[in-house]
């Protein structure tokens, strides 16, 4: 018997964006593999095996790799009673199965969720976040992360990121492996092979922009649905303000380690104000998020 949907408010805009992103990502993937097959005709079995193998590995193991890279360690209720208690309350409110619970030993105040589905989901908070937030603020942050699991956008982001990884690998192999050195004179095949790095770079750039556009919207959606579920948008706004303000006090070295995983985090970590990440951020601005929460708070106060 199928389980009923969670009590998180549905977001048609998010669903539309997820479907559109996956369609265009799939189209780009077909183009990239098609180009490789056309150029490397004699090696087409190798291309298909490698592309298929990377896709399967990315789908099945990317969430574990991301969790490992961010230092997540699963904890029991005895080890982290406050964290487990908050997630238990959110699961009861949302009518969702409990995800795996983890803690990352990091002073960077943040949280993230990974997983292909509710069955494989993992929600993690850093020790820096647990130390700084009040219980109601922590609950707001965790409700935000659980929204990603309920709406399955965390799975879409995980799969969508695969194409960028593949295109990046192809580009590096083409540049470092010496495709250009293997081409001779004005040989048309050699010219086409030399175009592989350029095509791969374009595919990478397009997939990067597609995932960034989805990522910004999904963060606003998670804020909105978490605030409606808990009925305390002010607690989430307080957590956002506190966490964003604390980022400036974190050592630059720690922020640089966290920066590659910004798309997963509750609040992005930037090593400097001039960081290129701010121009192509995976998250909306703090002002946008606070404005939305203020409107929700006003709506709840005056139904």
What per-residue confidence (pLDDT) applies to 3? Answer: 47
> Which tokens belong to 151?
């709406």
Percent of the chain with pLDDT over 90: 41
Q: Which residues pair with 102 in a beta bridge?
A: 74, 124
Euclidean distance between CA atoms 77 and 124, whole angstroms = 13
DSSP state string for 155-192: HHHHHHHHHHHHHHHHHHHHHHTTTGGG--TT-HHHHH
Taking the alpha carbons at both ends of the chain, their separation in whole angstroms is: 36
> Which tokens belong to 94?
């949302």
What per-residue confidence (pLDDT) applies to 227? Answer: 96
Q: For residue 134, say whether it is annotated as part of any ligand binding site.
A: no
Q: For residue 136, say whether it is annotated as part of any ligand binding site.
A: no
> Which tokens belong to 199?
């095509």
The answer, yes or no, to whether residue 247 has pLDDT greater than 60, is: yes
What per-residue confidence (pLDDT) applies to 172? Answer: 60
Cβ atoms within 10 Å, residue 17: 21
Q: For residue 283, say whether it is annotated as part of any ligand binding site.
A: no
Give the global pTM.
0.82
Catalytically annotated residues: 145
């Amino acid at each position: 018997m199928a389980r009923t949907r969670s009590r998180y408010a549905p977001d048609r805009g998010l669903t539309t964006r997820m479907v559109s992103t996956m369609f265009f990502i799939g189209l780009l993937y077909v183009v990239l593999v098609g180009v490789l097959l056309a150029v490397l005709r004699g090696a087409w079995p190798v291309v298909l095996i490698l592309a298929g193998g990377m896709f399967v590995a990315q789908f099945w193991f990317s969430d574990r790799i991301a969790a490992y890279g961010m230092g997540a360690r699963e904890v029991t209720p005895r080890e982290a009673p406050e964290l487990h208690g908050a997630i238990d309350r959110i699961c009861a409110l949302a009518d969702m199965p409990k995800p795996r619970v983890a803690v990352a030993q990091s002073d960077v105040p943040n949280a993230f969720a990974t997983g292909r589905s509710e069955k494989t989901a993992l929600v993690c908070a850093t020790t820096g976040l647990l130390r700084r937030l009040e219980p109601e603020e922590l609950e707001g942050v965790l409700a935000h992360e659980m929204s990603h699991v309920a709406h399955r956008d965390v799975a879409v982001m995980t799969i969508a990121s695969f194409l960028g990884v593949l295109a990046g690998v192809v580009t590096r192999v083409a540049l470092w492996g010496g495709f250009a050195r293997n081409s001779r004179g004005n040989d048309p095949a050699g010219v086409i092979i030399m175009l592989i790095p350029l095509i791969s770079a374009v595919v990478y750039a397009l997939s990067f922009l597609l995932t960034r556009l989805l990522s910004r919207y999904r963060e606003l959606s998670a804020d909105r649905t978490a605030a409606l579920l808990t009925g305390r948008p002010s607690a989430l706004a307080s957590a956002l303000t506190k966490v964003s303000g604390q980022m400036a006090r974190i050592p630059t070295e720690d922020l640089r380690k966290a920066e590659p995983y910004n798309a997963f985090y509750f609040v992005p970590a930037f090593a400097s104000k001039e960081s290129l990440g701010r121009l192509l951020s995976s998250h909306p601005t703090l002002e946008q998020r606070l404005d939305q929460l203020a409107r929700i708070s006003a709506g709840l106060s005056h139904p």
